[in-house]
Amino acid sequence: MSTSIERKRLKSQTMSNPRIHLEQVCRIPVLKSLSDSTRTTVASVLLQTAKESTLEKDEILYRGGDDAKNTGTLLVKGSMSVERDGESVTVKAPDLLGEMQQLNKTGQRVATVTALEESIVLEFAWHDFLYTSVAMKALTEDQQREFKEAIGDFVGRRLKVLSELTGESLEAPHADGE
């Protein structure tokens, strides 16, 4: 069963305003801790690999347990409900969604994410982002390390919120898979 974003993507493939999106993406919490040059480069590569979609209120972006297809989503306008085990939190733009599946060994979505209002999202494949970063030599080794650390810290904070929300003890695996 496909999610609504897969159906909607057919309607909205091109960015409505890339300049505004760059400003929004640079404000995403995970990127705020990066140096200016790393933040701008990461945001630019993400935008090059992303597809814009508009979600209507109550439309599901991700369903917990579904195959993740190695995608992440940049929420650039609107707000989403992230629900797991009957508990939910609200995520407002700008923010990153879909990062948790990167650490889930089953490759499945860990929560259901639903639009609380009309929302604009930019969906990207993590492997496209990595390939483009390497192929373009967009990020230096230091910038790659900086981004990896920022993602690790961000996921750690998200896991803490999910742990508090669900009462489960959740920990991020080590980057080397241990």
In a domain, 118, yes or no: yes
In a domain, 44, yes or no: yes
The predicted pLDDT at position 41 comes to 92
In a domain, 150, yes or no: yes
Q: What is the pTM of this model?
A: 0.78
In a domain, 178, yes or no: no
In a domain, 176, yes or no: no
The predicted pLDDT at position 112 comes to 92
The predicted pLDDT at position 104 comes to 58
Give the torsion sign (CA, 85, 86, 87, 92).
Answer: positive
Ranges of residues in the chain with a pLDDT under 70 are 1-19, 68, 101-107, 169-178
Give the torsion sign (CA, 142, 144, 148, 154).
Answer: positive
Within 13 Å, how many C-alpha atoms sit on residue 30's CB side? 28
Query: Residue 31 sits in a domain of what CATH number?
Result: 2.60.120.10
How far apart are alpha carbons 4 and 38 in whole angstroms?
33
The predicted pLDDT at position 34 comes to 94
Number of folded domains that form the chain: 1
The predicted pLDDT at position 58 comes to 97
Q: 53 - beta bridge partners?
A: 121
**Residue length of the chain:** 178
The predicted pLDDT at position 81 comes to 96
The predicted pLDDT at position 105 comes to 63
In a domain, 171, yes or no: no
Which domain covers residue 10, as residue numbers?
4-165
Q: Are 108 and 101 in contact (CB under 8 A)?
A: yes
In a domain, 177, yes or no: no
The predicted pLDDT at position 6 comes to 47
Within 13 Å, how many C-alpha atoms sit on residue 5's CB side? 25
In a domain, 173, yes or no: no
